[in-house]
Amino acid sequence: MLRDLLHTLVRALFRLFCRLEVIGLENIPPQGGAILAANHLSRLDSALVFAVVERRDVTALVADTYRRNWLLRPLIEAVHGIWINREQADFQALRAARDYLRQGGLLGIAPEGTRSRSGALKEAKTGVAYLADKTNVPVVPVALWGTEAAVARLLRLRRPDLHIRFGQPFCLPPLAPGDRSAALQRNTDEIMCRIAALLPPAYRGVYADHPRLAQLLAQGSPV
């Protein structure tokens, strides 16, 4: 099957050309719908998650700009990637993501929407919190770093050090009637602070001084 071949090949390439540190894989639910909410530093991020996660139903929301790439498009479609237009509220993509999660799939999403050029967390959009509320599935925070410099190091014939950490799954409180916008923002901040707690301090960005992050760090290891 093409998907299995891709998984084997991508994993082998990462292990051959990079030094990997993978922590917390056991935190991914072995079955059932779940969201992998990750920070986004590089085009390699999705491939790295795909390479290390064992579940055969893992896929991701993917920017539809890659649809025009003759090489990447068939590979993304082989793993059932869900195309999303990042320039507007893409309700069709959100419905597809909702349905995939309700059917028990494992879906990777970058709450920030786009790559962080600085390497530090940017303010996230509320889409992940919205999907979690609509599907009632757990969220697994995922932190990646080292991918932002990987290509440059490879071009200098140096093996990059790549790190990926999976935190403990958690469920967000349902959105209460009334001010749903404020509740969505609170849940989004919860997701991002849990990702930030997994990252080294230099990568925590706009969430570095968030009081919720301070609470999480005081509780001890988030993995």
Rg (CA), the chain: 17
pLDDT of residue 120: 97
- In DSSP terms, 23 is beta-bridged to 165
Domains belonging to the chain, first-starting first, are 18-217 (3.40.50)
**106-109 vs 19-23, strand pairing mode:** unpaired
Helical residues (DSSP H) of 127-179, grouped into ranges: 127-135, 150-155
Percent of the chain with pLDDT over 70: 99
- The chain-wide mean pLDDT, for the chain, equals 92
Q: Is 119 left (phi over 0), alpha (psi -120 to 50) or beta?
A: left
Task: Read off the pTM.
Answer: 0.94
User: And the tokens for 20?
Assistant: 């990997």
Percent of the chain with pLDDT over 90: 75
pLDDT of residue 100: 97
Confidence of residue 223 (pLDDT cuts 50, 70, 90): low
Q: Which of 182, 145, 159 is nearest to 44 (CA)?
A: 145
Query: What are the residues whose beta carbons fall under 8 Å from the beta carbon of 124, sequence distance 6 or more?
Result: 111, 112, 113, 188, 191, 192
Tell me: pLDDT of 210 over 70.
Answer: yes
Please give the single-letter amino acid code of residue 6.
Answer: L
Average pLDDT of span 56-78: 85
**pLDDT 10s digits, 117-161:** 999 999 999 999 999 999 999 999 999 999 999 999 999 999 999
